[in-house]
Amino acid sequence: MSLPESEHQRSLPAEPTPRILPPCDPGFRPIILAFRRFLASAGSTGVPVRIGLERENGFVSLFETRIGRESEGDETTAYVVERMVKFLLWSRGGWKIHFDGPHWLGKRLRSVYREGGGRDFDAGLMSRVYERPFEVALAEAGRFPEARERAQSLGGHLGGCRIGFDLGASDFKVAAVRDGSPVFSEEIPWTPSDQADPDYHFNLIQSGLKRAADRLPRVDAIGGSAAGIYINNQVRISSLFRSVPEDVFAAKVKPLFLRIRDEWGVPFEVVNDGEVTALAGTMSLDTTSVLGVAMGSSQAAGFLDAAGHLPGWLDELAFTPVDANPAAAVDEWSGDRGVGANYFSQQAANRLALAAGMRFPESMRLPERLREVQRLAEAGDPLAAGVFESIGVYLGYTIPWYAVFYDFRNLLVLGRVMSGTGGNIIIAKAAEVLRTEFPEAGARVRLHLLDEKSRRVGQAVAAASLPAAREGRRHHKERLHEVS
């Protein structure tokens, strides 16, 4: 359910206009500008606000800010705080929001994040992910959780014979890797979101793994990345399985990767594709403090901290707000306005192309439309170039907003949207925005665009490094033919 206009957006004052406008979306109002104005109005003497996100196994992420002392009942304050909470919820994850701040604001959040409230989609999905009722807890005097984060050391295991896979919306990639070097890679077309029978997914993934295994003398470990949310190798939420009935999902999709792991009998890890994006960046750039953003059928993201650890956050930036325009694009799944999926994906390219006056046959799917826009951009078409300039403006204004919640020094961007000339236009425009509006962020954050080959198979190769191989236990060639 989308946020009712009366609950914040209709009464929100006009947000600051950016100095650089997207040519295909002049109504864009970067939320970072609203946030900075909000912080300036609070000043150093504002009222402290603490937000805690509690997720699996008692892990808690904390975030602190301030609001103006004369803000009670103020709709702009309520809007900005709700947008911060929304970002925290989808970047960190959690089944429980702990709120320590003005009571009126906590009650407002509680009314929004409940069944029938403006954010009931978010509350319901988090409840499903963590398998617990979702709640907003208002802190009592002296009672607020301490931060408790998890630092995962997944990835970077390059020894032995490994298989990596990356499951996308229109194809999936497999790679055979031997002592860190890929010896085989392949992209296999599929239509996962249209399939109601999970045996389709299981059998096709298994056939891809078998094809990679045939290029290796043995298999020591398997690692994978996939769109969605995965906890302990279990599927919690994923658009790849959106057509599977709920009762079948619980019985056959949730344990799908556990079944694959058990059939192969080797160390196995599958994580969100965004996390592997960040891991691929760290391995490619030989550095840490990386936020990886993949622009494909939707938006995926992942973060490795300065120590090179995965914090175990959700990093589902497709659902996080980036645009404060009350008439911003509506996300078809969550019903919310101005979230990342409509700004950093092939959906965004299609929306912007149509706004620019480009037309496509009704039968042409989004991947084909993206390729057509990319082809025209390569040929110098100004309308097509404007599509990628617009995404670049979005990115330039969103980088400092991401920096509010992530401590990163390197931004790695990849995915189908970043292919060819269009990707170069996006990077150049984002850099221009940073120089013009946010020189401090421009000086701190380096933008990286992987080469074409790395964009195509880098995810699968990085995924192969996720699990540590067990010494003394090998999955030999003769066993491979028993795996169907």
The secondary structure of 315-336 as a DSSP string is: --GGGSB-B--TTPPBPTTT--
Q: Are strands 410-414 and 290-295 parallel, antiparallel or unpaired?
A: parallel
Fold of 161-254+467-480: Nucleotidyltransferase; domain 5 (3.30.420)
Residue matched to tokens 């192309």:
353
Per-residue pLDDT of 118-151, as tens digits, reads 999 999 999 999 999 999 999 987 789 999 998 7
| pLDDT for 4 | 42
CA distance 23 to 386: 6
Helix (H) or strand (E) holding 272: strand 268-272
What is the Cβ-side half-sphere exposure of residue 405, based on CA atoms within 13 angstroms?
A: 32
| Residue type, position 120, single letter | D
Indicate the Cα dihedral angle 24, 78, 314, 444, nearest 10°: 60
CA distance 171 to 191: 7
| pLDDT for 384 | 98
CA distance 416 to 372: 12
| pLDDT for 476 | 38
Greatest CA separation for the chain: 73
Residue length, the chain? Answer: 484
Q: Are strands 218-219 and 135-138 parallel, antiparallel or unpaired?
A: unpaired
**CB neighbour burial string for 404-433, b if at least 16 within 10 angstroms, e if fewer:** ebbebebbbbbbbbbbbbbbebbbebbbbb
CA distance 306 to 309: 7
CA distance 8 to 6: 6
122 C-beta neighbours (distance < 10 Å), count: 21
Q: Residue 186 in contact with residue 206, Cβ under 8 Å?
A: no
pTM: 0.87
Q: Do domains 161-254+467-480 and 276-461 have the same CATH topology?
A: yes
Q: Which residues of the chain have pLDDT under 50?
A: 1-11, 472-484
Helix (H) or strand (E) holding 269: strand 268-272
Q: What angle do CA 285, 370, 419 make, to 5 degrees?
A: 20
Domain ranges across the chain: 43-138, 161-254+467-480, 276-461
CA distance 136 to 105: 12
Fold of 276-461: Nucleotidyltransferase; domain 5 (3.30.420)
Helix (H) or strand (E) holding 38: helix 31-42
| pLDDT for 294 | 87
Per-residue pLDDT of 346-357, as tens digits, reads 999 999 999 999
In the three-class reduction of DSSP (H, G, I as helix; E, B as strand; rest coil), residue 73 is classed as coil
Q: Residue 171 in contact with residue 215, Cβ under 8 Å?
A: no
> Nearest to residue 71, comparing CAs of 98, 113, 43?
43
Residues ≥6 apart with Cβ < 8 Å to 303: 275, 278, 290, 291, 292, 310, 311, 313, 315, 406, 408
Sheet holding 171-178, edge to edge: 181-189, 171-178, 161-167, 221-226, 268-272
Cite the DSSP H helix spans in 116-268: 120-130, 198-213, 246-248, 256-264
